[in-house]
Structure 1
Amino acid sequence: MPTGKVKWYEPSKGFGFLVTDDGQEVYLNASALPAGTTEVRPGTRMEFGVAEGRKGAQALSVRILDVAPSVVRAKRKPAETTALLVEDLIKLLDTVSNGLRSGRYPEKGQGATIASVLRAVADDLDA
């Protein structure tokens, strides 16, 4: 069976393209992905069968060999640093909570800052 890497894949459209180890582009339909797989990242190594379709080579019976490494995971902060950020975030949210109990939302600038910190911590945790 030929092997190759995902060139691109768009889950909302349900298709993408693979590039075989010898450079041939192969169409990848969502129906060819393993059961339970709905998305693959560029660079993911796969083994697959190839059939000639109306528009050229098409992947069949895809098997994932290696998942592409996550760029976000590689760039995230060490766990100890994230723990300190979470502790500071808890203190910050406690202050916001006290204000909300008193009927006051944070000022617009402060609210935006808190939201961006929450998103950054969430991204690190979700990576």
Structure 2
Amino acid sequence: MKQKKVLIVGATGLVGYAAMKHFTTQKDCSVIAVSRRRPAETFGAKFISVDLTNEKQCLEVFGNMTDITHVVYTALYEKPDLIEGWLDEEQILINKLMLRNLFEPLERAAKELKQLHYCRVLKLMEYTLNR
């Protein structure tokens, strides 16, 4: 069976940490964990510190990830007031920027990318890329 290369984005959050812990136990998976700060435990995942708001850093890091097959995206910029924050234009723009800074270089580099799991604590959406 071909080895999966799983990129966990937002590895210090609740969902990202759980995903990292899960995928590192799978024999057919190699895991890269990404967040600004190092998680308390990486469970054997390779950790890379990346600020998703930094376009240049994202281009350098994700533009070289040619062997990623799966992405679990759990990163989130959130203001203190949860409900009002979801309507806040600045919060919306920062989250959009973070997503774009990851996927624009990664999509060009990772020709074997098969699945993207876009996760939020309250909602989960899954997209399968047809390549």
Query: The TM-score by the shorter chain falls in which range?
Result: under 0.3
TM-score (norm 2): 0.23
- Structure of higher RCO (CA pairs closer than 8 Å, 6+ residues apart): 2
TM-score (norm 1): 0.24
Kindly name which structure, 1 or 2, has the bigger radius of gyration based on alpha carbons. Answer: 1
